[in-house]
Every structure is written in structure tokens, then in C-alpha cells.
A and B are shown apart, each in its own frame.
Chain A
Amino acid sequence: MALSKKEISILIEIVFSIVFAFIFLPYFYENQDNNLILMDDLIGKIIEILIFTVIYFSIAYSLLEFVFKKKEAKDERDDMINSKSYKLGYLLYEFSLFIFIGYVCSKFQNKELLNLTGNQELYNNFNLTDAGVVFLILILLAFISIVKSLYQFYLYRTV
């Protein structure tokens, strides 16, 4: 299966999203019950993510340029594929935003209901922290990014 330069650059993005999800998301998952200010070395983690991102894309795209020396023209087919895949990404983003808002509202509503029932222990465990919100947003963004890129890759192979 011969892949074009554009297809490989999409695969680079997919691999990045998967690696990000497996390396950095567990940190946010473990700390989702904390507040951001109490998270263990958050600034260090953000710097780590930034450095990893810069190094990963620099190496990946340098290798890509080295292997595919010829420059590929960007044309209307690329625009069509990009518009279709970004449209899907945007729809997923909108849909997940609704789910996210619903989740946050239901969490607060349930918390109030628990308060009325007088179950203090459950009430105290029913928290939605800012770190939890950050974790949810990151996992949604990673998921949307992977789906968008996979669809883009599929279109490049089939259209």
C-alpha cells in the first residue's frame, strides 16, 4: 500500500493524538478530582506536553520532507477532502459540547438531589472539579481529532 505525502502527514497527526491520549491523558485522569491549583506539577506537565509536541512534529515532518523531496501541489481535491473532514469534526465538536453541557448540568442537579436526601457521604463524593472539566475537554478534543483525521485519511484513500 503506497501512501502519498499528504496521507502520511495525516497518519502523523493520528499517531500524535493517540500518543497524547495514552501518555498525557492518564495524568489528567488521575487528577480529575483535584482543583487545577492542587494538581501535582501542572506547569511542568504543560511544558512537557509543549516540548513533546514541538519535538514530535519537528522530527516527523523533517523525516517526511526528507523521504518525499518533491513538493505536492495543493488542489481542489484537497480542499474538498479537508472541508468534508473538518465539517465532520465541527459537527462532532458541536454534538459533544451539548453532551458536555448536559453532563455538567445533570451533575449539579444530581448533587442537589443528593443534598435533599441527606446522604452526606455521597454528596461529598459528587464533585465536578475544574481539573475534571479539563480532563473531559481534553478527552473530547483528542477523540474528535482522531475521528476527523481518520475520516480525512479514508477520503484520501477512496476519493
Chain B
Amino acid sequence: MAFGIHLTRRAFAGAVGATFASAMIPRSASAASARDPRFVVVILRGALDGLSAVAPIGDPDYADLHGALALEWGGAHPALRLDGFFGLNPAMANFARLYQAKQALVVHATATAYRERSHFDGQDVLESGLAPGHVESGWLNRAVAALPAGERVGAGGALAVGAIAPLVLRGPAPVLGWAPSGLATPSDDLVARLTDLYNHADPALAKALQAGFDADRMAMQHGMDGVKPGGDVALAMRKAAEGAARLMSADDGPRIGALAFDGWDTHANEGGATGRLAQLLGGLDGAFAAFESELGPRWNDTVVVAITEFGRTAHINGTVGTDHGTATVAFLVGGALAGGRVVADWPGLKTADLYEQRDLKPTTDLRAVLKGVLADHLGLSAATLTQSVFPDTLGVAPMKGLIAA
């Protein structure tokens, strides 16, 4: 069964006109084009329960499997209706609004190629785009590195938010770092002397230091106040998104960004329409809203994807939570999207339809989604995507039609 697949005009033209060379030329973000795209990757660490985030309420087996956590159309906290089949967690009102405006999209029953259930290997695979154990570089960094020299999108560097750069953004391309910080700025003189010392004695530290202070200077120029990390998880997510968006909205700012939110490993007392997961989803929803408002006019040329290492068990476990699973959802928001739909080749939830009789079965390769965005939004060629960004993925075609024509 396939639900919610609506071919865009672009994808349709591509499908019927494949023999025309024009259909094969990726959309370019070069100076010749008026587009100036922004792309943000949000890593949700801990494995998001896709069946509680975007619930297949129309599936007859869902309510039983997900038990106390299951969302429903009615009740005190009804799910937000995405279509006749899928309901969104009520904590995500902004996403629902963007979805109505065709600026948000869900990919369901999706997973990377990883089929074990270790968080740490799963995150490595999600972010490196390689097999487990390869943590030298991330696919987003390699994508930036592969952009032709002089492209605006790569010239501003890529922005890593947080004290530790997410693996997805580590690698050869230059990375700026920024995190909310409340400390007084050290003197420029100290930084200059230290840069000189590192240049002589430790080039690796010199590079990191330079990148750290570059982002900081830009943040100062754009009037960003320091934010102390607080106890409020939703506030912390929104502040991180706001900060990143302000840096990325600048004319000379980075076009590419990555940040990571922790806490999705809901083994116990996960909650459904309210509770722990709903609070986290509300935080993520607030981060989406912050990107929209802070990017201003740039929002129309923006795509934000929120992805997680794998999903969780279809059955709830003995502690009203879920254990490590396989397929889950990916969230996409941004003005550049052809949104307003759930992309899913729905596998069903009968025991025989579950992966290893326990998890939502993956029917969409997450790398196809990411390749599709990189191709149509940033203009990377199919060859580059298969050679350096996601090596050995010749069989995984970029998903078409994610970006509005």
C-alpha cells in the first residue's frame, strides 16, 4: 500500500521526459541561479519512536501494538490530522501549520542501511553515511566539500552548533562552531598570540581555534546574546535553533548547518499525546518555528531535515516505553519544499509485516531522501552523491520531487 504519494509537476515531468537531457541536469545553486539555499540537518540522538510522532492511526493493528502510547483521532489530546491515515503528535502544532502551507513533509517507514540496534553504531552510520566503524567524516561535510569552488553555498563554511561538532559535519570542509555561551570574550590579542603559537606548534588546534572564533565574531555582529544552558529542554532546543538560524540568515553567513538534540531513547514512560516524548517533540517543533522566524525571507529557500538513527519497537514494552527498533520517520520543513504530504510505502503492522516480527519495516531508504534534497536543493550531481557523499549507493536513487519546482 502506498499512502500520500503525490507526484509534483517536477517529478512528473522528470518521469515522462526522462529522455530529455534537461531532466537529468541537477538544479544548480551556482551564481547563475537566483537561489541561495540554506540546509540544516538536525540529528535526534537516541532513536525517535516514529509511530508515536506520526501515528498510522488508520492502520487497524496500530492501536493494539502501541497500546497506552497510541495516538487517536479523538480524546482529550487528539492527533493532528495529516491525511486520512496518519495523525501527527499534538505537540507539533507548528509542523501541522507548515504542513498545511505545503512547507512540511514526513517520510515514514524509513531507515538507513543499518539493521542492528546499537545507538552508537546507528548514529555513526546515520551521520557518516558509511558502514559502522567509519567516523572520519560525515556525509554533510563531504557534500559541502564536493560543491564546486566559488559556490556561495560552500563559501561561508558550515555551521556546527554545540560544544562538540556532530559527526555529520566533521571532515575536510571548513566548519564553524557556535554554542550559546555566557563567558566574557578573551582579548583579541590573546587569541592572535595563541593562533600564532598553534600555527607554529599545532596546526590542528590552529584550525579549530580559527573556526571557533570566526563563528563567534559573526554572532557578535548579528547581535546575539549569550544564552546559558538552562534546564528547560524545549527552551534549549529553541535557543540553539534561533542562534543557528541567525548566523545562517546573514549574507556572509554559513549556508549549511547541523545540530543535535539528545534524549529520544524512551525505554520507559514514553508518553503518547502528552508526556516525555511529547515534550521533546514540542521542543523540536519550537526549533522548527525558530528556524522559520529567524531565517526571515531566507526561509523560502530553506530545507531543514530532522533524522534519527533508527526507530523503536512497534510493540510497547513492559515499562510503557519502546525498545530499539528499525524504521521510523524523518521530518522535513522549509519553504523550499514541495510539502503537505506523508511520503510512505506503508509496510503494514501485522506481525508478518514487521521487521524481525518486532519493528516497523523500512521501505524507504533514508539515504534516498537525503540524496534527493542534496541533488535538488544544493545542486549536487548524481555522480558526486554516489561517489563521495554516500559511497556505494548506486542502487539508491535520489528521491525526486521533494523540492518545489
Are chains A and B native binding partners rather than an unrelated pairing?
A: no
B interface residues with partner A (beta carbon < 8 Å): none
